[in-house]
Amino acid sequence: MVVCMSRRTCVELYNEIVKLRPDWHSENDEAGVLKIVMTGSATDGPEWQQHIRDKRRREALGK
């Protein structure tokens, strides 16, 4: 687990890790190794949208 100071930092770190380990990425919550758990809004840019999950999906990832 890595905790970041901001959502922007989380997304940037995620992108850098995926550059080194592309097989760790999956848009499917059930696959992949690396996930960002964060809240967001519709005004967040498209690069962030894949990481925004509702409460149920955030809790499932936590388990």
| Inter-CA distances, 13 with 2, 4, 55, Å | 10, 9, 23
Question: 11-22 pLDDT, tens per residue?
Answer: 999 999 999 999
> Mean of the per-residue pLDDT values for the chain?
90
With tokens 């990481």, the residue in question is: 51
- The whole-number average pLDDT for the span 33-58 is 87
Does residue 38 carry a pLDDT above 90?
A: no
- The whole-number average pLDDT for the span 28-43 is 88
Q: What is the pTM of this model?
A: 0.81
3-state secondary structure of 38: strand
Query: What is the spatial distance between Cα 27 and Cα 6, in angstroms, rounded to a whole number?
Result: 21
Residues 6+ apart with CB under 8 A from 27: 50
- C-beta separation of 34 from 14 below 8 A: yes
